[in-house]
């Protein structure tokens, strides 16, 4: 009887240690860094769920912009490079989407667009050129101080799930 009680206690301790060890080894959310030269661009994280629908993306943009003004966003000149660096994950390529926004954070450009496919270079770092992909004159009424607000949305397959990241910028070229 005493031996059976010791075996139960020993088994409970082993199971507890196993469970504690499993809790410490959880996967962390993928993080990413955006920059334009020496200027760090603030990432918005969408995770692996709730990043497919236009309304969900707009909601995240609007939440991110609470207490901020669109005129405070970093300016990027068309033709400049935007660097993407994975912080704690690896992937083979990114899909890059460039959406135009109004002053409320709503997507005003076409949502269902063909993304630009960008291959990942050395050590998770890659670059792409910020090009005018929209007819600026069509969206002139939505300009903020004669500049268009862009949501650069990045999608990638990570850990067998689709993750999305974004950054908000203003196009430097006046309309």
Residue 116's closest CA among 129, 100, 135?
129
Show me where the domains of the chain are located: 29-171
| 29-171 CATH | 2.60.40
User: Backbone phi, then psi, for 130, in 5-degree steps?
Assistant: -80, 105
Distance of alpha carbon 84 from alpha carbon 33, whole angstroms: 6
Instruction: Output the pTM of the full model.
Output: 0.80
pLDDT in tens, the chain (175 residues): 566 776 677 666 666 666 655 554 455 788 999 999 999 999 999 877 667 789 999 999 999 999 999 999 999 999 999 999 988 888 888 999 999 999 999 999 998 888 888 888 777 689 999 998 888 788 989 998 889 999 999 999 887 888 899 999 999 766 5
At 65, list the tokens.
């912009």
Please name the residues in contact with 161: beta carbons below 8 A apart, sequence gap of 6 or more. 48
């Amino acid at each position: 009887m005493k031996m059976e009680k010791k075996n139960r206690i020993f088994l409970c301790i082993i199971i507890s240690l196993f469970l504690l060890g499993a809790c410490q080894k959880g996967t962390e959310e993928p993080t990413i860094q955006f920059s334009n030269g020496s200027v760090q661009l603030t990432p918005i994280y969408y995770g692996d769920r709730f990043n497919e629908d236009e309304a969900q993306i707009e909601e995240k943009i609007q939440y991110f912009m609470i207490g901020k003004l669109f005129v405070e966003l970093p300016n990027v000149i068309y033709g400049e490079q935007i660097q993407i660096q994975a912080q704690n994950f690896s992937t083979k390529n990114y899909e890059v989407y460039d959406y135009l926004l109004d002053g409320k954070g709503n997507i005003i450009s076409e949502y269902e667009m063909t993304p630009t496919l960008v291959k990942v270079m050395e050590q998770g770092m890659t670059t792409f050129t910020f090009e005018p992909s929209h007819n600026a004159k069509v969206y002139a009424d939505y300009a903020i101080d004669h500049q268009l607000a862009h949501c650069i949305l990045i999608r990638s397959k990570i850990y067998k799930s689709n993750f999305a990241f974004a950054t908000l910028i203003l196009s430097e070229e006046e309309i």
